[in-house]
Structure 1
Amino acid sequence: MSNMGARVARLVRNFNLENRVHRELSRQKPSAAPRHTAPGLTAPAAEPELSATENMMGSIHNKNDPLLKLLESVYVESKDPEAPKKTAVGKAAERRPLKFTLPSDPYGLLDLDDVPKGKLTIAEALKALSSHQQQPHTWTAETVAQEYELSEKDTRALLEFFMPFQVEIIPPKKEKAKQIEES
């Protein structure tokens, strides 16, 4: 049904279309409004509009001597700001030598000579944790922090919450434990 309505609407819309187009094209179009003239200037009487655009294009391509002299007097000099250079002394101050390495070095740390301050290698972390666990009175958080140049806050948190060698043995189940009976 909707297809039928579309056909009827198309017939009404296209009815006598060609005659309506010819009638619209034959009508006289309104002329453009005259241009406003500035006070004190006389309107060009017989000059066509093309001459105004030609004058404008000519003034664009012509040299303007006063502007060229002003442009020649301008001199711009720019320099990039110099970045602060890092010295070898500053680099050595930011890093510390390794305290401990594993003999077989299974973690691929053979090429390390030093680490940044405030950081640990895996081997150093394991050594510090095992030392603290074996001798907690001599290896306190403060001594570990001084030895490896760490912050005391981070060292306390590391020793308190990270325990890699703590083993908990779960007792075996009792044989006489209560069982749920199947019915």
Structure 2
Amino acid sequence: MGKIYSVLTRPVRTFNIENRAAKLISREKPIPAPQYASTEKQKKLSDQVNPYFLEDHYQKNTQLDQRLKNVFVTSTDSQEMKEPARDSKVLPQSRRSWENDFTFESYEPTMIPMGKCSLKQALTFLLQHKHDPIKYSSENIASEYKIDKKIIDDILKYFKIYVTALPNNTRQPKEFLDSIEDPIQEFIDKGLEVKQKDKEKKK
């Protein structure tokens, strides 16, 4: 209903709109909006107290301006610059591009914290323990990698390396499964070679 009323009253509202707008714009001083009775009362009271308040308000007071110029702020703090608190985490320093020499191996971190090990190291000592449990016991592994013996015991107990199982021979004896080549054997061998080379360089 409102849309119909707007369409019907539009010709009346737009009648001679250009002349009416020009007449309103050509006025020297616009008509001020009506004020509340309380505002009018406040204006009358202020005129009685100080009728020249607005004139004095918009004039520059030289005495106050001079006082402002005479104000100086002197800092008593030391000028030593305090260094911002550094984050305890070390940011990566390697800026090498991996586009050309990309491999599908897991990322090997440059810095390994005490009591931790990388994925390659974990796979390495799991394979070593599998082939020779006496030489690579949990005590020897814990002392070599500086990890708690209980953590090494849990890793050796709950984590195993994948082996290849043929679909037609689901009931294979344990000896046969142990003799099957591991799919990540080459990956582990490369890690062992790199570790051996690092030991030889340190010597």
Q: Normalising to structure 1: TM-score of the pair?
A: 0.46
Which one has the bigger helix percentage?
2
Structure (1 or 2) with the larger CA radius of gyration: 1
Q: Normalising to structure 2: TM-score of the pair?
A: 0.42
* RCO higher in structure (CA 8 A, sep ≥6): 2
